[in-house]
Every structure is written in structure tokens, then in C-alpha cells.
């Protein structure tokens, strides 16, 4: 597609932004649907965040994805905020039609998990209590997960999040006590992420039962130690790349109103990440 006077712009804002895979994923989707849109990335210094939002409005930019460190601080500059994004307290998608903020991270994780199992009435254990854990946990609650347990290294942080969710909490090192009764395990910690791919996983095969669905938000590498242990135990792995894919697909739908071409986006992500 040639860039011309009709080209519509969407972009990622963050600081830094150069490691993102979103431009490749979204541009392949625009190209597949023959849409005259482009997705780029802007490195926005935190002190310029307000100007970036005002500038985008003035330039008729159609949408932003928002990443670290702006996900929370961008909220005061928006006119509207989606209900769940407000509960989470963080925004990763802005639609400039109505200057409204959304959080598609949690939706991305749920859609990834729901390729394998429904979240409804399930007993879910989440490792980690940071931003990703918060986004996923609120969407799980919205999808009527039965019981949610937050496990974290810093137990105070687990307690704070669990309190907001009306969930249970404990220390991450107690994980083996919770796994036998869990249907779904979600890892939101960076344990196993490059360059620490050989670190001990949060659980090993002998403690994973066959019916457990294990989702690892880490996507670099794709086959983390945790997911290798999951396969070894005969249980069901859900790869982190799927969350990346579905959060992007949901943002695409919000900005364009069109059904995202999932297959194309997934192929591009795999190629970009070097994972076939």
C-alpha cells in the first residue's frame, strides 16, 4: 500500500519502544485487508505525554497503543475510560474517535486461554502481582472465573491485588500447595524470560496434573521451561505469543471497527519473533 494523502495513522507510544513487535503485526493486517493505514512507534518522554495526546488529536491520529511507562499516567488526559480499564487502573489502547482508553492485555490473555478452556467457573492460580497480573485477573473476574489465587514473591503486593479483586493470596513459594486444585495456572512473572531461560521454572512436571492449563505470559522464548514442564506432564500449554496476538487483534478491532485477520497477524508475529 502506498502512503498518500489518505493514509490513516495508528502508533505505539512508550519509552523506549524500539523492541516492539506490534508495527509488523498490525501493518501485515492492514496490508491483508488492503486498508490505507499504517502503524508506527513514537518514543515519548514522560514529561511530554500530555503534548503527545493533544498532538495526536490535532493530527487526527486514529489510535494509540500505550506501553511502559505511560499506561497509568495517560488516564487523566482521556475523555472516557472503559469500565474494566478503569478498575485495572491502566490503559494500553486509545481510540481517538472519542478519546477513550481501553485495556486489551487482559482480554488478550483470556482469549489465548479460551482457545483451550473456558475461564468460567474455573479455579485459577496467578503467579505475579504486577501490571500484567492485575489486567488478567480483572478480566478473569469479569469472565466469572470461580476462584482466583494470587501468588507473589512479595506477599504484601499479592495481598493488595487480592484485596482489590476479592481473591485469595499467598507467597509464590507455596505454589505446589495450590496446583492440585487449580484448573488454570498463569505465569505473569519474568521467570524464564531471555536471558534467564534456564532458570528454574515456577513449577516442575512432577507437580503439574494432566488437566492443568498453563499459560505463560513470557513469549521470549516461546517454549519456556515452564511450558516444557507442562508438556512433559501431559498437561496443556498456552504460549505467550497468543496474548500478544489477541491484545493486538482487540486494539485493531477498536480502532478500525473491522474483524482482525488473526491468521495473518499470528504468522507475522511468529516470523518476527523467529518462531515457527
Give min distance, CB of 246 to ligand ATR, in A. 17
Active site residue 228: no
Q: Is 92 in the site for ligand ATR (CB under 6 A)?
A: no
Pairing of strands 93-95, 80-81: unpaired
The rounded distance, in Å, linking the Cα atoms of 85 and 183 is 26
Q: Is 268 in the site for ligand ATR (CB under 6 A)?
A: no
Binding residue for ligand ATR (CB under 6 A) from 29, 74, 78, 132? 132
Q: Is 157 in the site for ligand ATR (CB under 6 A)?
A: yes
Q: Residue 171, Cβ neighbours under 10 Å: how many?
A: 12
Q: Please say whether the beta carbons of 44 and 15 come within 8 A.
A: yes
Q: Is 89 in the site for ligand ATR (CB under 6 A)?
A: no
Q: Is 130 in the site for ligand ATR (CB under 6 A)?
A: yes
In the range 164-223, which residues lie near ligand ATR by CB under 6 A?
Answer: 172, 188-191
Q: Is 154 in the site for ligand ATR (CB under 6 A)?
A: yes
Q: Is 247 in the site for ligand ATR (CB under 6 A)?
A: no
Catalytic residue among 34, 51, 62, 71: 71
- In the complex, residue closest to ligand ATR by CB: 130
Phi, psi (5° rounding) for residue 32?
Answer: -60, -40
Helices (H), the chain: 22-32, 49-58, 83-88, 105-113, 131-142, 155-165, 175-178, 225-232, 241-256, 262-273
Contact range with ligand ATR by CB under 6 A, out of 26-34, 106-114, 126-134, 228-236: 126-134
Farthest-apart Cα atoms in the chain, separation: 60
**Among the listed residues 24, 49, 52, the one whose alpha carbon sits nearest the alpha carbon of residue 38:** 24
Q: Is 121 in the site for ligand ATR (CB under 6 A)?
A: no
Give min distance, CB of 69 to ligand ATR, in A. 10
The rounded distance, in Å, linking the Cα atoms of 33 and 30 is 5
Tell me the chain's radius of gyration from C-alpha atoms.
19
Q: Is 133 in the site for ligand ATR (CB under 6 A)?
A: yes
The rounded distance, in Å, linking the Cα atoms of 145 and 138 is 10
Residues lying near ligand ATR in the complex (CB under 6 A) are found at: 128-133, 152-154, 157, 172, 188-191
Catalytic residues: 71
Amino acid at each position: 500500500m502506498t502512503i498518500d494523502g489518505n493514509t490513516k495513522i495508528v502508533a505505539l507510544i512508550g519509552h523506549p519502544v524500539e523492541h516492539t513487535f506490534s508495527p509488523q503485526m498490525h501493518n501485515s493486517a492492514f496490508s491483508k485487508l488492503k486498508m490505507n493505514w499504517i502503524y508506527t512507534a513514537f518514543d515519548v518522554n514522560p514529561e511530554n505525554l500530555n503534548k503527545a495526546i493533544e498532538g495526536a488529536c490535532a493530527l487526527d491520529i486514529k489510535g494509540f497503543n500505550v506501553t511502559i511507562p505511560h499506561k497509568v499516567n495517560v488516564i487523566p488526559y482521556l475523555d472516557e475510560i472503559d469500565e474494566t480499564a478503569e478498575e485495572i487502573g491502566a490503559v494500553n489502547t486509545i481510540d481517538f474517535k472519542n478519546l477513550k482508553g481501553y485495556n486489551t492485555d487482559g482480554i488478550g490473555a483470556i482469549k489465548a486461554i479460551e482457545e483451550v478452556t473456558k475461564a468460567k467457573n474455573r479455579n485459577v492460580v496467578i503467579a505475579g502481582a504486577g501490571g500484567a497480573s492485575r489486567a488478567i485477573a480483572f478480566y478473569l473476574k469479569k469472565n466469572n472465573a470461580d476462584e482466583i489465587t494470587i501468588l507473589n514473591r512479595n506477599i504484601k503486593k499479592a495481598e493488595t491485588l487480592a484485596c482489590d479483586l476479592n481473591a485469595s493470596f499467598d507467597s509464590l513459594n507455596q505454589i505446589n500447595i495450590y496446583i492440585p486444585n487449580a484448573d488454570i495456572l498463569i505465569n505473569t512473572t519474568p521467570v524464564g524470560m531471555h536471558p534467564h531461560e534456564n532458570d528454574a521454572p515456577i513449577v516442575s512436571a512432577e507437580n503439574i496434573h494432566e488437566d492443568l492449563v498453563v499459560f505463560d505470559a513470557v513469549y521470549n522464548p516461546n517454549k519456556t521451561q515452564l511450558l516444557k514442564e507442562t508438556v512433559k506432564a501431559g498437561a496443556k500449554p498456552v504460549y505467550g505469543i497468543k496474548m500478544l496476538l489477541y491484545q493486538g487483534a482487540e486494539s485493531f478491532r477498536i480502532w478500525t471497527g473491522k474483524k482482525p485477520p488473526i491468521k495473518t497477524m499470528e504468522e507475522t508475529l511468529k516470523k518476527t519473533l523467529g518462531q515457527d
